[in-house]
Amino acid sequence: MFWLAPLVAALAGGPLVIVDPAQSRVEISVKSTIDSFVAQLREFDAAITVQAQTGQVEAAVFRFDFASIKTGKTDRDRDMNEWQQTARFPEVVFTLAALEPAAGGKSLARGQLRFHGVERAVSFPVSIGREKTDFTVDGDVVIDTRDYGLPVIKKFLVLKVDPVVSVHFHLQGKVAGS
């Protein structure tokens, strides 16, 4: 699970934030004609390094296997993985390129998202908190799955899944060595 940590730490050089999966969550909101739902990302790797003196984020990589997304319905999970071609494109990776100040005490995260074999630039607001050794990152990002070469899901002439999904995340951890 922590295979990203040495890579990100080596690139940035600062202390690593050890993300606690039990205290963190990632939720994907999907709207459809009949059955909207919120899927949960059960397993992921997150590596974040911070500047030792200021606590500012230096680098971050967030990675997961698409099959780790669970909707609560086995058939829907199977259909979702077939649609996304998970056997061919199992991995989703976000790599932070820059973190810029934004309105309301937030930051704007800019980076690259690789999904379904397509890599695209994305940006979204995040709130970053640090109290002593505790560290949190909260954010929301909207993804249009058509931008990644995926078709709109349509079934039975009346059911349509909105290709635009909302991802909400809360990452919580501790700064190592603090």
Each residue of 11-52: pLDDT tens digit?
556 778 889 999 999 999 999 998 899 999 989 999 999 887
Interval 140-167 mean pLDDT: 93
- pLDDT-based confidence at residue 123 (cuts at 50, 70, 90): very high
- Domain containing residue 158: CATH number: 2.40.128.110
Which is it for the CA torsion 77, 80, 82, 87, positive or negative? negative
pLDDT at residue 80 tops 90: yes
Cβ-count burial of 92 within 10 angstroms (0-12 exposed, 13-18 middle, 19+ buried)?
buried
Residue ranges making up the domain that contains 13: 4-175
Q: What is the pTM (predicted TM-score) of this model? A: 0.89
Which of these, 96, 75, 91, 90, lies nearest to 17 by C-alpha position? 96
Q: Which of 23-37, 78-92, 153-167 has the lowest mean pLDDT?
A: 153-167
- pLDDT-based confidence at residue 61 (cuts at 50, 70, 90): very high
The confidence score (pLDDT) of residue 172 equals 94
For residue 155, the cross-strand partners are 159
Overall domain count for the chain: 1
DSSP letter string over 128-178? EEEETTEEEEEEEEEEEGGGGTPPPPEETTTEEB-SEEEEEEEEEEEETT-
Higher pLDDT, 51 or 75: 75
- What's the CA dihedral at 2, 13, 91, 39 to 10 degrees? 70
Tens digit of each residue's pLDDT (9 = 90 or more) over 107-119: 999 999 999 999 9
3-state secondary structure of 18: strand
Interval 144-163 mean pLDDT: 91
Interval 49-63 mean pLDDT: 87
> How far apart are the C-alpha atoms of 167 and 94, rounded to whole Å?
13
The confidence score (pLDDT) of residue 84 equals 96
DSSP letter string over 69-91? EE-S-HHHHHHHHHHHTTTTS-E
